[in-house]
Amino acid sequence: MLRWTIIFIVIAIIAAILGFGGIAGASAGIAKIIFFIFIVLFILSLLRGGLKK
């Protein structure tokens, strides 16, 4: 999932350099959403792993 975040950030940077503001903003927004989902799932997996011990 973190790989998708990096891909969307790269797309956003390239689109911003080329002057496509709408695409850059959308890609950055998608990357932000995916990153926060990754963080939540990571924290849940840490908590779940800690409860099993």
Domain range summary for the chain, segments of one domain joined by +: 2-51
Encoded tokens for 17: 């350099």
Residue 34: which residues within 8 A CB-CB, separation 6 or more? 1, 4, 5, 8
Q: Residue 53: is its pLDDT beyond 70? A: no
Give one DSSP letter per residue of 11-52, joined into a string. HHHHHHHHT-HHHHHHHHHHHHHHHHHHHHHHHHHHHHHHH-
Residue 20: C-alpha distances to residues 4, 9, 51 (Å): 20, 14, 47
How does pLDDT run across 3-46, given as a tens digit for each residue?
888 888 898 889 989 988 888 889 889 989 999 999 999 999 88
pTM higher than 0.75: no
